[in-house]
Amino acid sequence: MNELDLASLETECEKFVRNPSAAPSVQLVNFFESQENFNMIYCAIFQSRHTSLLYLCLNSFLKILPVEWKKLTLEQRSHIHSSLLSMLISETSHPNYLLSILSKSLARVCRLSLIEFSNTKATITFLLQSISQSSQNLSISLKFFEELIIEIHEPLKSKSKFINRKILIKFRDSILTEILSYTTNAISSLQHIDHIKSFLNIFILCLNYDILNTTNDESADDPICLHIPSQWKSILIKQELLESLEKILIESIGEIELLGIRVLSQLGAIRKSVFTCLEEREFFMRRYLEIVMKIMKFKVLCDDNLYEFLKAVKRFLCNFGVKDISTIGDFGAFLESLAQYTLVLTSQKILTLEKTLNTLCIWTFLASDSAGPFPKVKDYIPGLFQYIIGRTLESVTNDIFTEEKENDLEEFLQQTGTFSINFYPEIHEILTKFIIDESQNIQTGTINDLQLSWLILISSSILATQNKKSGISLNDKIVDLITKLIVKLTNSSYYIELSIIVFYDAFFTAYLSSTFDNYWEDSSSIIGEFSLGQLSYSILEVLFRNLTKYQYGKILEKSLLLFSKLSIGSYSTKIITSLPQVFSLINYPQCSFTDNKLRSRFFTALTQLWSNDENSLGEFYQCLIDKMQKYSEKTENVKIIFIELHGICKALTTEKAYNEFFNTVYEGLWGLIRDINSLITDPEVFHCLLKFLKEFTDNRNDRIKFDISEAYGVVIFKYISQILIFYCKKHTANSQIDENIINNKAKFVLNVVNNMLYGRYISFGVFEIYNDDTFVNMITICFNIISKCKDIYTYNKIMSLVYRFIESLCKNHGRILFCYLHNCWFEAMLSFLVFGIKSDCIRYLAVKYAVDANNAISCFCDYIVKTIRLRNRESEIVKKRLESEDQKMDEIYEALFEVIFTQEVSYLWTFSKVLLGLAVINQKKFEQIKNCAIEKLSLPEETKSKIQIAASKLLEGVKQSLDAQNKDIFLKNFNKFKQVLSSIN
């Protein structure tokens, strides 16, 4: 790079820095985004001293380097490494943001070069020596250590799992061990206390290091046990580390306190097998408990710090096991401290679910793990439960019913139920007393809606965990008391209505789920003073009152969810359908809610329920037919009918159920959609129609089967094609239509067409026999609407449907493609196939879509090879098509070789069958383009020569056919070729 170019870039950067609110110049953006400018960016980094330009260059360098790395010589790679290291620890003062990006850049270089040469270990050794000589380099080195661990732990997408695993293990066994040893010694001796935050963070990163990459998701829970290597034992298991950590935890606050707690959590998760003897392990556990008890006694933790601390305690208990920990003399003192700590957290004036929940998790674990051998734990559970329920009843507020607290509330109720499962008799007795007291308040008129709601919710959590599988006899008293209490309520508030739904849900789990089939006799079985049938009918009354009362909200959603559960369970449906008055209650109800998804789900549940009773199902379908005939003239009514049909059709999972529905609605359905123009005019109605057709044509579980003598499949295709063709012709001609609308409709159209293509219930050959162009027109319209989609390559879901559509056509309808499809759409199809295997596409789209494109090309090649050998009129048409699309075919060859030679993906095996197909179609072109692709590689000549030799053996022993034996031979050759590529890259 000459001085003029460098000065120009520095000037542009200076303008941007002085006015950051303004957009950067086009020249600047183009320069840093272009991969072709890598060499200029590389030169600018080591020539310029302009901090802003350096930052932008390094930021661009980070993104481009992994792709360009393979093109660099060993000398260039070594130069980049040494230059970045010199810049990082130079005496020149750099701003923090520049030091940060320098650390990231050097870390990336170290990762890319880790397998090839050992400069990474030398870098760590050099930095540790520089720290011992001068403490000025300490903060820079620690920052680099953090970035290096993070960088190495993130797998390279362009490398195979084997290579990534190899990098991870090599780094852990040498470099990471050295970093951890230095960090642990610094924490143990409390050296450099000003940098303790960085040391703690590096320690956490080291212990979180996972060579299997199973816990790299930030949303995943921490593993209970850390499988650290045995060589780390001498580094981690030492008294000085625990003593220093205790001092840090007791004396620090804020972020350092949080990091210290996370370190404590990591130490509590060290695998037990690391310890050489029982005495060593018991000493560690005793010392750990002492630290925990001191924190509970002397520290006031809150928010994230409290959450992490309680999580650390539970993690320690899970890892070492309550059985082993209870043998330590301090275990009784620990339980007492934990009980007092729980009381302190629960005694807040305002109920805080998070704090109560976190302590409850620990006691839940102790309770579930301590039913028999640990009587010390038993002494605390009933008293704690009574105190928690009493305190929460006193301090409950309406905030806990908000949407923000919904997850916390559900988890709290689940933990409360689990907490009581091994102490059911004692908990049941305490809860019964609370319910009786609340019943007396109702009689005296001193009811508190929130407290009553909370009590019903707690009762629900206890009831939901008691079932036949738990081995505990169900005590019906809670159900009896709550049911009587509900009967006494009039004009219930929102909170009480919500809690009643939750209680009925728990009742379903305990009494009506399929677990209890043959456990209860029938609907006349008595629970308290009520029969099972009476309670079931009461539940249905409440549910349908809510479904007609609410148009949206949590009560409506929970009511619908519970009704869906009742409709699915084999035992619950058996009870409900046996009640003589239930059909008159449910029948074909009028609902107040207008949400399309909820209405569809509701009718799915209704259909599932009545499917268990043939008489009721017939009446239900008759109500549907009457509604279709009565309300087919108003647009809004037609929309609702389509929504309900969608829900009903979704419930049909067997051939018998589908045929019964199809025979019932067949005539009425085509009568409903005879006025196509009016359906298309209203976008919402047409959207609901498309959703129904998508479900109606879906042959999941092979539910759609027609007799061979019937033409139902062909009729379905013709009717639906008329609708879709009419819509597409009318709306794709409108250039001003919103791109989101056209993209959404294209997605639904392709879904419907793909369902019919893959359904195996339509004889498509009939159309050609009778010279019916419906099928060809349908394919043409699909390509037409695809072409109207704006930026279609950025929509993954649509692209997936496109490739499934093309794959089906290539696999089953190759003759239609070559003989009848217009040239422009045939060329468009080839363009999609080219894009599907291009390296840019593979980086941009999900793996699944690129694999779909490969499958489509494979089917495309199979048809060509099979047809050309016939030497008939059809084979001549195929040859002419290929000649006319010679350029596109060349692009397919080129794109395929580009991806294979550069190893842009880790699933190269999928390209084997495609590559063989292309070789059989035109071996001369295959060899020619293969050699050209190798020449274009930006690699040393020696490397290209190795690839050329390996690639020349791809067709060794391969014949000009696609039979199974030939595919096996080619696959073996291809696997050998992959091994050569892996060794080079």
669-713 residue pLDDT tens: 877 776 666 666 778 888 888 999 999 999 999 999 988 778 899
Average pLDDT, stretch 873-891? 91
Taking 70 as the threshold, does the pLDDT of residue 160 lie above it? no
User: How many residues are listed for the chain in this entry?
Assistant: 985
Average pLDDT, stretch 454-469? 77
Contact 784, 754 (CB under 8 A): no
State the Cα angle at 276 between 275 and 277, rounded to 5°: 95
300 phi and psi angles, rounded to 5 deg:
-110, 100
| Percentage of the chain lying above the pLDDT 70 cut | 85
> Burial level of 56, CB count in 10 A (0-12/13-18/19+)?
buried
Contact 231, 282 (CB under 8 A): no
Contact 241, 183 (CB under 8 A): no
Going from N- to C-terminal start, the domains of the chain cover 231-330, 839-854+865-984
Q: How far is residue 392's CA from residue 430's CA, in Å, rounded to a whole number?
A: 14
Position 903 scores a pLDDT of 59
Output the DSSP codes for 923-975.
Answer: HHHHHHHHHHHHHHS-S-HHHHHHHHHHHTTTTTT--SS--HHHHHHHHHHHH
Taking 50 as the threshold, does the pLDDT of residue 518 lie above it? no
Contact 245, 260 (CB under 8 A): yes
Average pLDDT, stretch 258-262? 92
Q: How far is residue 494's CA from residue 506's CA, in Å, rounded to a whole number?
A: 19
First to last CA, the chain: 29
Taking 80 as the threshold, does the pLDDT of residue 503 lie above it? yes
Q: Are strands 526-527 and 530-531 parallel, antiparallel or unpaired?
A: antiparallel
Beta bridge pairs of residue 531: 526
Q: What is the pLDDT of residues 176-202, one digit of tens each?
A: 888 899 899 989 888 778 888 999 999
Name the most confidently modeled range: 31-35, 84-88, 302-306, 801-805.
Answer: 801-805
How many of the other CB atoms lie within 10 Å of CB of 102? 25
Q: What is the DSSP letter of 471?
A: T
Of the listed ranges 835-844, 877-886, 958-967, the one predicted with least confidence = 835-844
Mean pLDDT taken over the chain: 82
Q: What is the pLDDT of residues 604-631, one digit of tens each?
A: 998 988 887 777 788 888 888 888 877 6
Taking 80 as the threshold, does the pLDDT of residue 647 lie above it? yes
Taking 60 as the threshold, does the pLDDT of residue 61 lie above it? yes
Q: How far is residue 471's CA from residue 617's CA, in Å, rounded to a whole number?
A: 38
Taking 50 as the threshold, does the pLDDT of residue 217 lie above it? no
Distances (CA, A) of 206 to 115, 154, 214: 20, 14, 15
How many of the other CB atoms lie within 10 Å of CB of 594? 13
Q: How far is residue 386's CA from residue 62's CA, in Å, rounded to a whole number?
A: 59
Q: How far is residue 946's CA from residue 406's CA, in Å, rounded to a whole number?
A: 61
Taking 80 as the threshold, does the pLDDT of residue 581 lie above it? no
Of the listed ranges 367-371, 425-429, 594-598, the one predicted with least confidence = 367-371
Average pLDDT, stretch 445-465? 82
Could you tell me the sign of the dihedral formed by the alpha carbons of 985, 854, 894, 790, in that order?
negative
How many of the other CB atoms lie within 10 Å of CB of 384? 20
Name the most confidently modeled range: 5-9, 119-123, 578-582, 748-752.
Answer: 748-752
Q: Which residue has the tokens 């799992």?
A: 161
Position 32 scores a pLDDT of 75
Position 489 scores a pLDDT of 77
| Percentage of the chain lying above the pLDDT 90 cut | 18
Nearest to 367 by CA among 345, 347, 383, 346: 383
Res. 466 pLDDT band, cuts 50 70 90? low
Q: Which residues contact 316 (CB under 8 A, 6 or more apart)?
A: 265, 268, 269, 288, 292
Q: What is the pLDDT of residues 770-826, one digit of tens each?
A: 999 999 999 999 999 898 888 787 788 888 899 899 999 999 999 999 999 999 999
Q: What is the pLDDT of residues 707-728, one digit of tens each?
A: 877 889 999 999 899 888 888 8
Contact 605, 563 (CB under 8 A): yes
Of the listed ranges 107-121, 382-396, 505-519, 793-807, the one predicted with least confidence = 505-519
Position 276 scores a pLDDT of 86
Q: What is the pLDDT of residues 297-325, one digit of tens each?
A: 888 888 888 888 988 998 898 888 888 88
Taking 70 as the threshold, does the pLDDT of residue 369 lie above it? no
Under DSSP, is residue 159 helix (H, G, I), strand (E, B) or coil?
A: coil
